[in-house]
């Protein structure tokens, strides 16, 4: 019984540390997303900027602004932080 209570308390404490502020792992993820979008678009890295990262049930979605693009790019990562793809947010 004590082990179950410790597990629940531990899980609650670890949940408190997730998502608050911009941690180094989020900064690293955004940098990786910027690099991938830069490579995909052929736009130099200085003109590709992550503007937000949102947690979703399957992981995260980072919104990337690219100079000259009419809409942002999206960078999708799984729950472990592995990037699974980038895509342009506007059809066309």
As a whole number of angstroms, the distance between CA 65 and CA 3 comes to 47
Largest interatomic CA distance in the chain: 59
**pTM summary value:** 0.73
Q: Which is it for strands 73-78 and 83-88: parallel, antiparallel or unpaired?
A: antiparallel
Query: How many other C-beta atoms are found inside a 10 Å radius of the C-beta of residue 59?
Result: 17
pLDDT bracket for residue 91 (50, 70, 90): confident
Q: Is residue 77 part of a domain?
A: yes
Smallest CA-to-CA distance from 83 within 39, 32, 45 is with: 32
Q: Is residue 16 part of a domain?
A: no
Residue 86 has pLDDT above 90, yes or no: yes
pLDDT per residue as tens digits for the range 32-61: 999 999 999 999 999 999 999 999 999 999
Domain that holds residue 36: 23-88
Q: Is residue 14 part of a domain?
A: no
Q: Is residue 1 part of a domain?
A: no
Q: Is residue 8 part of a domain?
A: no
Q: How many domains does the chain have?
A: 1
């Amino acid at each position: 019984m004590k082990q179950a209570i410790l597990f629940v308390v531990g899980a609650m404490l670890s949940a408190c540390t997730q998502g608050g502020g911009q941690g180094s792992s989020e900064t690293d993820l955004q940098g990786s997303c910027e690099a991938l979008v830069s490579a995909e678009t052929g736009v130099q890295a200085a003109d590709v900027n992550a503007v937000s990262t949102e947690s979703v049930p399957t992981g995260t979605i980072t919104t990337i602004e690219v100079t000259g693009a009419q809409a942002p790019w999206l960078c999708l990562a799984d729950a472990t932080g592995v990037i699974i793809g980038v895509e342009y947010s506007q059809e066309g």
